[in-house]
Amino acid sequence: MGICIKSIGMYVPDNVITNKDLESKINTSDEWITTRTGIKQRYIADKESLYDMAIKAGKMAMEKANMDEVDIIIVATLSPETLFPSTACVVQEHIKARFAFDISAACSGFLYGLDIAKVYLESSNANSVLLIGTEKLSSLLDWSDRSTCVLFGDGAGAAVITKGEGDILSSVMFSDGKYKDILYAKRCDYLKMNGKEVFKHAVRNMESACKIALEKANLTPEDISLVIPHQANIRIINTLTERLNLDPSKVYVNVNKYANTSAASIPIAMYEAFEKGILKRKDKILLTAMGGGFTWGAAVLEF
């Protein structure tokens, strides 16, 4: 018996903002955005709060798992509505759990949460965890800054994690605070990013984490059925694919539809891949992400 992802859920707002929509608001173009990022559109919360998205994604995952409650709710977010109470505690009002808490690891948040869930479940301090990655990044964006506002979107993804068939074969997490000024958002201010530096570190760090995670799992890239990287930028994904000598057909990409949804990125992609039949039970999959902090990591799962 291992640690398995029993079910997945997701939610994105109804409001879609395309690259063409942005052309009338800022000095940019669909061609400029697509060429540099691979993004064609993003979902932007209009009437939905961060809580709404987290609760809806969480409830979907719970319904698909046929469960009414969990032991723990963990929410990964870099865009909380309040300093306290935690987003997880607000979710707990709608989904029964013994206790709930938030983590902040930016775009690596879902992977950090997965690692934490694994520790709780293996220590027998819990039998079930609801892990939610949720972001309302539009609340942090300067919509006159084309270097950042075109890159991000809103949404939530969730997973119910229990003891059962499947396993987390390896999980490695890293951080380095000396790069704190390259990608950040201060309180009551907009998100700031040095894109060139983020690209360089993202490719190198994710490549290294993937190799370590594969080695710990005693697997090679050829053993992996599907790679689901953080969906930040198509050039980062393509470069990582080349450096790991991966078959591009094994790398799931949906950044074109959702843009960068930070901690929600990986679970949204997992949900979509599973619903399409691309991700199947017993597949060995590789997850990887890097975010502000810097934080980064990778995990190998038998799904």
Catalytically active residues are 107, 230, 260
- Residue 163 near residue 5, CB atoms below 8 Å: no
DSSP-derived letter for residue 47 is S
Residues 6+ apart with CB under 8 A from 128: 6, 67, 70, 71, 72, 121, 160, 161, 162
**List of residues 6+ apart from 82 with CB closer than 8 A:** none
Q: Can you tell me the distance from the alpha carbon of 286 to that of 59, in angstroms, rounded to the nearest whole number?
A: 26
Helix (H) / strand (E) containing 122: helix 109-122
CA dist 230 and 20 (Å) reads 24
Contact 164, 6 (CB under 8 A): yes
Cα first-last separation, the chain: 13
